[in-house]
Structure formats: structure tokens, C-alpha cells
């Protein structure tokens, strides 16, 4: 249930503005890849190109290749809907569907595939996904209550349960803890540790301690000046990146001497 993605020479545009330039990176299966860098350097934009969410913004487009399992997800015959079903995403702010109960939220993605599911199988999937997201014990008695009634951290774990319920190959996380308190953040980080047994995970974070805690490999994005496109400065094993980065910009950023 996990695949690698090889990105080569990816340029990302908003209309005529080139937001990110020339990204080449390999995302390993069953590992956590963290993307760090200052605000506006294009790391979230890059993340959103990996499941073709970038192009829902009018005028946004991509040049280059991102190959998963031998197939370029930007190939001409590839349906973006199909890509998104295989590459799940968790957003910066928890976004469970407010009109659905906790149970319905978990099943939201599965229902899209129009699979008529026997109730027993659905129950099993709900429990499995919620257990996997470390949320089961907290919500098992109120599965029919609205998902928006949970705390922020619980909502985010519900969103993770919703994303993994469809058994994606890859899980993208766009600053999943930035709206959460420290305890909820720790819960999510623990969860990421467990999830990487089964999934390929890419996480964008502003928090460098978080990157060093959860990730196996880290990529550092930066831009040379405002108005210039963002670039992947370097990418390496997380321990190397945080102890002996090869580029000076990386070292400055990580040690807080940035800007």
C-alpha cells in the first residue's frame, strides 16, 4: 500500500508567475519525507502538485514529470480524480464535512467509489480507520454525532482516518499540526510514526523540531529573493540535514540565522 514517487524537473506556475522551479526529488515508500523552508517558498504548492490539487486554481499549471509506479501522474491519459484517490491529503486546518456524522466522514471517500458496502464491512472499515488514526477510543460511543463537534486535534485525526479509509498509496500532509495545541500535535506525530509502516508520507511543516522528530528525509525549499521562484535547495537524510547540511543556506535556516 505504498509507492515511491520520482519527481524530475518540475516547474509550477500560477498563470504566468513561476512559483517553483526545477524540483527533482525521490520520495521513498514507507518513509516520512518532510519539506521545510520559509513562508512563500513553494513547499505547499509543490505538495499540492503531487496529487494534482494545484490545478484546481484557475490558471495554475505544471511542467515536468512526477512518476508514481512507472506512470507519470501528469501524463496525458491520466485522470486527476484517479490520482487523488490514490494520493490522499490532510490539510492545514481540520476540515471534516460539517454536514456529516463522524461515521459518515470516515466513509466519505469510500462512498465516492460508488461501492455499495454491506453494513458490517462499513462498520469494520470505520473502526479500522479510526483505530489506525488513534481516534477510536475517543469517539466510538458517538459515531453518529457531527464531526465538527470534536476538538481540533480530534478533527484532524478524523481527517486522517477519512484519508486512509480509501487505502491510498501516499499520504500528503500540509502543515497538519499548525492549528493544533502541543498535546494534539504530539498525538498526530505519534500517529505519523505508526502510519509510515504502511504508507508513503510527505509532510510540509514550519516546525523544524517536528521535521527532525517525524521524518526520515528532509527537503529544504528556499527562494533567492521575493518574486523569484522557489527551489529545492537540498535534500538528504534528516539526521544529516540537521547535523551537517551541505549548503550554507540550509544551515542558516536550520540554526535560525535565516534572513
Partner 1 sequence: MSTDVTPEAPGAEGRPLASRRGTTPGRFGNRLFAGLSTASGILILVTLAAVAIFLVREALPAITASPAAYADFTRDLNLGQYIGPLVFGTVLAALIALVIAVPLSIGIALFIAHYAPKRLSGPVAYVVDLLAAIPSVVYGLWGFFWLVPKIGPIMDWISQKLGFIPIFADYAPPAKNVTSAAIVLAVMILPIITAVSREVFLQTPRLHIEASLALGATRWEVARQAILPFGRSGVISASMLGLGRALGETMAVLMILAPFARGTEVYSIKILASAEHQTIAANIAQQIREAHGMGVSVLIASGLALFAITLVVNMAARWIVARRAAFSGAN
Using the minimum distance from each CB to partner 1, give the nearer residue, 14 or 91.
91
Smallest gap from Cβ 148 to partner 1, in A, equals 6
Residue 149 touching partner 1 (CB under 8 A): yes
- Smallest distance from partner 1 to CB 115, Å: 13
In the list 67, 78, 100, 179, the residue contacting partner 1 (rule: CB under 8 A) is: 100
Between the alpha carbon of residue 198 and those of residues 102, 118, 164, 222, the distances in Å are 23, 25, 10, 30
- Which three cell numbers mark 40? 512563500
Instruction: Give the residue with the Cβ less far from partner 1, 63 or 82.
Output: 82
3-class SS of residue 59:
coil
CB of 118 to partner 1, least distance (A): 21
Please provide residue 253's backbone torsions phi and psi, each rounded to the nearest 5 degrees. -65, -45
The helix (H) or strand (E) run that includes residue 219 is strand 217-223
Q: How far is the CB of 112 from partner 1 (least distance, A)?
A: 5
| Cβ pair 44, 228 in contact under 8 A | no
- From start to end of 133-211, where are the E strands? 170-174, 200-204
Stretch that binds partner 1, among 92-100, 190-198, 205-213, 251-259 (CB under 8 A): 92-100
Question: Which of 20-28, 125-133, 140-148, 204-212 is the region at the interface with partner 1 (rule: CB under 8 A)?
Answer: 140-148
- Integer Cα distance of 185 and 181 in angstroms: 6
Q: Which is nearer to partner 1, 153 or 229 (CB)?
A: 153
**Residue 159 found at the interface with partner 1 (CB under 8 A):** yes
Q: Does 84 bind partner 1 (CB under 8 A)?
A: yes
In what side-by-side order are the strands of the sheet with 71-72?
Answer: 71-72, 60-68, 5-14, 17-27, 230-237, 217-223, 32-36, 200-204, 170-174, 87-90
Scanning 37-45, 107-115, 194-202, 250-258 for contacts with partner 1 by CB under 8 A, the matching segment is 107-115
Q: Which residues bind partner 1 (CB under 8 A)?
A: 51, 53, 56, 58, 81-86, 88-89, 91, 93, 95-101, 108-109, 112-113, 145-146, 148-149, 159, 162-163, 166
Amino acid at each position: 500500500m505504498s509507492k515511491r514517487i520520482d519527481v524530475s524537473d518540475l516547474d509550477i506556475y500560477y498563470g504566468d508567475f513561476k512559483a517553483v522551479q526545477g524540483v527533482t526529488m525521490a520520495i521513498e515508500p514507507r518513509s516520512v519525507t518532510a519539506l521545510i523552508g520559509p513562508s512563500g517558498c513553494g513547499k505547499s504548492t509543490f505538495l499540492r502538485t503531487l496529487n494534482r490539487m494545484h490545478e484546481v486554481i484557475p490558471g495554475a499549471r505544471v511542467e515536468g514529470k512526477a512518476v508514481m509506479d512507472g506512470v507519470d501522474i501528469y501524463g496525458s491519459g491520466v485522470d486527476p480524480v484517479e490520482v487523488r484517490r490514490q494520493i490522499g491529503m490532510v490539510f492545514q486546518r481540520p476540515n471534516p464535512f460539517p454536514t456529516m456524522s463522524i461515521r459518515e466522514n470516515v466513509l466519505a471517500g469510500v462512498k465516492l467509489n460508488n461501492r455499495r458496502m454491506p453494513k458490517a464491512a462499513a462498520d469494520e472499515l470505520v473502526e479500522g480507520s479510526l483505530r489506525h488514526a488513534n481516534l477510536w477510543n475517543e469517539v466510538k460511543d458517538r459515531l453518529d454525532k457531527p464531526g465538527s463537534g470534536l476538538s481540533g486535534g480530534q478533527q484532524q485525526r478524523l481527517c486522517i482516518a477519512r484519508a486512509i479509509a480509501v487505502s491510498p498509496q501516499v499520504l500528503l500532509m500540509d502543515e497538519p499540526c499548525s492549528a493544533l495545541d502541543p498535546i494534539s500535535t504530539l498525538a498526530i506525530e505519534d500517529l505519523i510514526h505508526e502510519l509510515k509502516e504502511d504508507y508513503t508520507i510527505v509532510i510540509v511543516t514550519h516546525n523544524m523540531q517536528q521535521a527532525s522528530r517525524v521524518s526520515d528525509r528532509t527537503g529544504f525549499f528556499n527562494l533567492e529573493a521575493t518574486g523569484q521562484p522557489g527551489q529545492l535547495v537540498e535534500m538528504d537524510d534528516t539526521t544529516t540535514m540537521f547535523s551537517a547540511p551541505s549548503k550554507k543556506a540550509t544551515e542558516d535556516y536550520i540554526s535560525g540565522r535565516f534572513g
